[in-house]
Amino acid sequence: MAVSMDGLRFATPYALVLLLVAPVLAVYYWRTRRDGPAVALGAVGPAEASPRTWRTRLEPLLPVMRIVSVVLLVVALARPQSGHAEAHSTAEGIDIVLGFDVSSSMSQTFSRNRSRLAVATDVLQEFVRNRTRDRVGLVAFQATTLTLSPLMTDYDAVAESVKNAGSLHLKDGTAIGTAIGESVNLLRTSNARSRIVILLTDGENNVHQVEPLAAARVAQKLGIRVYTVGVVNQAGAAPQANVNVDEAAMRQIAEITGGTYSRAEDATALADIYSKIDELEKSRFEGNVITRYDDFAPYVLAAAAALLALELTLRHSLLRRLA
């Protein structure tokens, strides 16, 4: 927990207007002292020549003490507070399941003469290897799904599973709903502070065993966020590489669960998407800042009361004749 001072603030700053009383009091005491007695009795020459006693020297402090006590009282009414910004972080990681579409359409050329599958494999491997405390699982899918890695922190093993996902021989198709359901099932018993699914696809659901929106609602009920990523070719690409992603459905899946939908048109954009998801999930917890305030009003009020009590004591005892 990192603590930093935010400085001083006043909870009721409008009370500081009463500080205008201080200069009025100062002028009043100054004029009272300057005017002196209305009637002069006897000669003052010998008295002026006499040495000043300690009582004479302390006497001007009485109005000063009264004014300072009033200032402190006003400051106490304004409720001075010191703010502490506490940024909370935890050593606990999050649980992530990667849904990886490895259907035949992923073999199409995507960026720099590389296939969608090759680019996605590189991005997912880098994402996995950049983990430090998170557990990562992997679900590959075509018309059916296959869990290639349970939740684990052996990032090299998960990255190797990502690499081998493209060589699977599953029935071709795009079972998005089933993939979400399988990913959510991996996270069902997780006690992590955050549980997310990042599903990557270049197509639309064409296997209706489990509908994507139905799977998304299950994720929502379990508090699991689903981030969807659509891999599409840039505008103006060859006709055979037209956008096949059902972006409206992908966006709806993400919104239902509290995630986001992102569209990747090249390798750089795809890498950026995973980086942004990573930053977003970290900010949900590590960016959590709670500001607390210590109220100093009681201490200032006590100081005002003590100073006023001292002034009154001196005025009616040691300095009574001079006040």
Q: In the prediction, which pLDDT does 323 show?
A: 47
The mean per-residue pLDDT over the stretch 68-92 comes to 74
Q: Which tokens in the block code for residue 85? A: 């910004």
Q: Please tell me which residue, 150 or 313, carries the higher pLDDT value.
A: 150
Q: Sort 7 into a burial class: Cβ within 10 Å, 0-12 / 13-18 / 19+.
A: exposed
How does pLDDT run across 253-303, given as a tens digit for each residue? 999 999 999 999 999 999 999 999 988 887 665 545 556 778 888 888 899
Which pLDDT score, from 0 to 100, does residue 4 have? 38
Is residue 179 within a helix (H) or strand (E), and if so which, with residue range?
Answer: helix 176-187
The dihedrals phi and psi of 62, each to the nearest 5 degrees, come to -60, -50
In this prediction the pTM is 0.62
Residue 131 CB burial class (10 angstroms; 0-12, 13-18, ≥19): middle
Residue type, 279: E
Q: For residue range 214-257, what is the model confidence (pLDDT) as tens digits?
A: 999 999 999 999 999 999 976 545 444 456 899 999 999 999 99
User: What pLDDT is stored for residue 115 in this prediction?
Assistant: 93
* Top-ranked range on mean pLDDT: pick from 5-14, 15-24, 311-320: 15-24
Q: Which of 4-18, 106-120, 285-299 has the lowest mean pLDDT?
A: 285-299
| pLDDT of res. 3 | 35
CB 274 within 8 A of CB 198: yes
Q: Give the type of residue at 170.
A: L
Average pLDDT rounded to a whole number, residues 74-89: 73
* Domains (range + CATH), the chain: 2-86+295-315 (no CATH), 95-283 (3.40.50.410)
The per-residue pLDDT for 322 is 46
pLDDT of residue 48: 53
Please tell me the predicted confidence (pLDDT) of residue 239: 45
For residue 201, what are the CA distances in angstroms to 104, 141, 305? 11, 9, 72
Interhelix angle 21-35/61-77, nearest 10 degrees: 170
